Structure 1
Amino acid sequence: MVNRLLADGIVVLHFLFIAFVVLGGVLARRWPRLAWVHLPAACWGAAIELSGWICPLTPLENRFRQAAGEAGYAGSFIDHYLLPILYPVGLTREIQYGLAAVVIVVNVAVYGCLLRRR
């Protein structure tokens, strides 16, 4: 039971991290010091997508799922949880490049506005 709760908690944490990567710049407009945390997170998110690496939270979640007697899954967090929601087909490198581009463009635009405001 504890391992399943830990795995589910990692899923929630992972979703929150992805939301922060994509939208954290908007929060940084309100709280500019948050940029010191958000910019490295956004760079990490873009690097994961551009390189094709798997985020370390994914194998950790799978480890807890297997310890709870559940089956883990192959592939990335995005492939397993987000693509079935956002895309009807499987993850391709082109889609990963697109996701990275969204992260970069959104954050460049938000931080550009933030810098202009200062």
Structure 2
Amino acid sequence: MPLLIGHTAMVLHYLFFAYVVLGGFLSWKWPRMFWPHLMVAVYALGIVVIGWSCFLTDIENWSRAHTGREVMENGFIDFHITGVLYPEEHLMTSRFVIAGIVACAYAGAVWRRYRRGPVTAPEPVSG
């Protein structure tokens, strides 16, 4: 059971990472998605910059410890992504690229919102 829990946490980690990077674009179609993504992006930024704990990392490390596998010393990104999706020496570059992608998603969401114009109430039907 600990192995299944660990693998599930790893899959959720990848989905969380994908949502952090690309989830802002969902607000282009569904503007209400802006705020949930902003909260997730701030949490992810806190994990990377401030060193906040990630509960998925804690769960995955628990699983690894209980199944005799190597524990992730520096977290999910350093263990699974750095050196796999981009070379280790480009860690800061990748962070700036991810921040740029999120900023573009937000800029596009704001641009689309203001391009539509103000939200107005429907005209009353006279009868």
Instruction: Sort the TM-score into its range (normalised by shorter chain).
Output: 0.7 to 0.9
Quote the offset at 1:76 in angstroms. Answer: 1.3
What residue in structure 1 maps to residue 108 of structure 2? 113
Please say if residues 24 and 38 of structure 1, whose CA atoms lie closer than 8 Å, have aligned partners that are also in contact.
yes
Amino acid of the residue matched to residue 15 of structure 1? Y
Q: Percent of aligned positions with the same letter in both sequences?
A: 35
Alignment of 1:64-79 (within 5 A): 64-79=63-78
Question: Is 1:40–2:36 an aligned residue pair?
Answer: no
Which stretch shifts more, 3-12 or 97-106?
97-106
Amino acid of the residue matched to residue 10 of structure 2? V
TM-score (norm 1): 0.80
Please say if residues 49 and 100 of structure 1, whose CA atoms lie closer than 8 Å, have aligned partners that are also in contact.
no
What residue in structure 2 maps to residue 104 of structure 1? 99
Please say if residues 21 and 42 of structure 1, whose CA atoms lie closer than 8 Å, have aligned partners that are also in contact.
yes
User: Which runs of no fewer than 5 residues in structure 1 stay unpaired?
Assistant: none
Residues of 2 paired with 1:40 and 1:14: CA distance? Answer: 16
Bigger radius of gyration among the two: 2
Which stretch shifts more, 15-24 or 67-76?
67-76
TM-score (norm 2): 0.75
Q: Structure 1, residues 10-64: CA drift from partner, whole Å, max 9, x if none?
A: 0000100010000001112111111121111111112222234452321221112
User: Which runs of no fewer than 5 residues in structure 2 stay unpaired?
Assistant: 114-127
What residue in structure 2 maps to residue 7 of structure 1? 6
Please say if residues 49 and 99 of structure 1, whose CA atoms lie closer than 8 Å, have aligned partners that are also in contact.
no
Please say if residues 28 and 112 of structure 2, whose CA atoms lie closer than 8 Å, have aligned partners that are also in contact.
no
Residues of 2 paired with 1:100 and 1:44: CA distance? Answer: 15
Please say if residues 13 and 56 of structure 2, whose CA atoms lie closer than 8 Å, have aligned partners that are also in contact.
yes
CA RMSD of aligned residues (A): 2.1
Higher helix share: 1
Please say if residues 64 and 70 of structure 2, whose CA atoms lie closer than 8 Å, have aligned partners that are also in contact.
yes
What residue in structure 1 maps to residue 27 of structure 2? 28
What residue in structure 1 maps to residue 57 of structure 2? 58
Q: Secondary structure at the match of 1:85?
A: coil
In the alignment of these two chains, the number of paired residues is 113
